[in-house]
Amino acid sequence: MYQLDAPLYSYLFALLPVLWLGYLLFLRWRKKIQQQFAASHLLDVLSPDRSRFKPNLKLILLSLALLFMVFGLINPKIGTQLETVKREGVDIVFAIDVSKSMLAEDVAPNRLEKSKRLVSALLNQLASDRVGIIAYAAQAVPQLPITTDYSAAKMFLQALNTDMLSSQGTALDSAIDLAATFFDDEDQTNRVIFLISDGEDHSEDAQNAAARAAELGIKIFTFGVGTEKGAPIPLKRNGVVESYKKDLEGEVVITKRNAEVLEAIAKATEGAFQDGNQTQAVLDFVSEELKAMDKKEFEAKKYVTYKDRFQAFLIGALFLLVLDLFLFETKTKWVQRLNLFNENNNNA
């Protein structure tokens, strides 16, 4: 198995025909100039030691040197061994609130964007844990099953918005129950749900769902975004606020973070509540919690180890260039005695 590190440099192979074409044009020009001074048989008399073979040999050496340099730039890598990589970690499901209340701007830029940035920072901190993502409002929907592909997780994370679910509200129980189904490994001792929300719960059954999760050995860590003071929910068009969400009586709705609900959910599963507005504090907390958890070996893959091979090509190119430098266009006496190139017959 092999791979090319920089295949773009393969276009430089086009220099070889250019070099040969230039050499042929040079020979034609030189012959024309020489004919202006003397006939070809007189040139052999005037330059008896001139070799006809060595200029061609120098061209071949220069062409090979160029060929080797291009291969060196491309850097073909060849697999030499197989390595077994064992990965250990915990299973983590991110449950992210995408209800309309997450559009409140009591934290910048708003609660939902703050939540997405928090989850992205957590993903950057993880090493070998498996992650999944669900989104929820009045109901919960799966976004990404348990995986080790953090790039895919970030892609699905950025796609979350408050318009993805038609039914509005915040059903924390639905989010917890759905997240519990994501854990597909019965031998995994540590199963974790990171629930990111403002805590406004319209289902009133969140603690019962948390109790069911605790029976399955799942820990829930809740991260509250927003403030207790609260803020109105802006209604925007093309990024411009047109009005604010109002209730049936025409009063502007003020949405507030409900930390008590989030604390109760975390406590029911022996988890913990953290202020999601403080990103660095959350990162430090999660890092310490995950370090204390037992890790399970859940994946073992074999990866091909590729080794760079450009060194050999560059050494070969350098050798050929040095050889070309010390190769003169006159006949070589000891080679002439061996008559390898018929130089005694003036054919070289």
**Long-range Cβ pairs for the range 42-46 (8 Å, 24+):** 44/346
Identity at 331, one-letter amino acid code: K
Is residue 333 a part of any domain in this protein? yes
Whether residues 12 and 139 fall in one domain: no
Three-state SS string over 205-274 comes to: CHHHHHHHHHHCCEEEEEEECCCCCCEECEEEECCEEEEECECCCCCECEECCCHHHHHHHHHHCCCEEE
Degrees to nearest 5, angle at CA 156 with 150 and 161: 145
pLDDT for 204 equals 66
**Are 77 and 307 contacting, i.e. CB atoms less than 8 angstroms apart?**
yes
Residue type, 178: L
**Pair (61, 172) in one structural domain:** no
Cβ burial, residue 28 (10 Å; 0-12/13-18/19+) = exposed
- Which tokens go with 214? 């605790």
Residues 202 and 257 in one domain: yes
Contact 137, 200 (CB under 8 A): no
pLDDT of residue 43: 63
ω before 55 within 30° of 0 (cis)? no
Same domain for 315 and 270, yes or no, is no
Residue 83 lies in a domain: no
Same domain membership, residue 320 and residue 290: no
User: Residue 269 falls within a domain, yes or no?
Assistant: yes
Give the per-residue pLDDT at 347: 47
> Do 209 and 137 belong to one domain?
yes
Contact (CB, 8 A) for 279 and 118: yes
Query: Which CATH number is 163's domain given?
Result: 3.40.50.410
Tens digit of pLDDT at every position of the chain (348 positions)? 677 888 888 888 898 899 899 888 988 887 787 777 766 666 666 666 666 767 788 888 889 999 999 988 888 887 666 666 677 788 899 999 999 999 999 999 999 999 999 999 999 999 888 899 999 988 899 999 988 889 999 999 999 998 888 777 778 889 999 999 988 777 667 889 999 999 887 666 888 999 999 998 899 999 999 999 999 999 888 878 888 888 888 899 899 999 999 999 999 999 999 999 999 999 999 999 998 887 777 665 666 667 777 888 889 889 988 888 877 666 655 455 555 555 555 444
Is the residue at 82 inside a domain? no
Tell me the sheet residues that pair with 85. 301
Same domain membership, residue 292 and residue 331: no
Residues 163 and 67 in one domain: no
What pLDDT sits at residue 77?
81
Range of the domain at 143: 88-301
Using only C-alpha atoms, what is the Rg of the chain? 36
Do 66 and 148 fall within a single domain? no
Is 200 inside a domain boundary?
yes
- Domain total for the chain? 2
Chain Cα centroid distance, residue 170: 34
Residue at 80 is within a domain:
no
Statement to judge: residues 219 and 284 lie in one domain: yes
What SS3 class is residue 85?
strand
Q: How many CA atoms lie within 13 A of 296 on its CB side?
A: 12
CB 147 within 8 A of CB 130: yes
Supply the DSSP string of 3-22, one letter for each residue. Answer: EES-GGGGGGGGHHHHHHHH
Q: 204 and 166, same structural domain?
A: yes
Q: What tokens does 154 get?
A: 């970030």
Assess whether 319 and 267 both reside in one domain: no
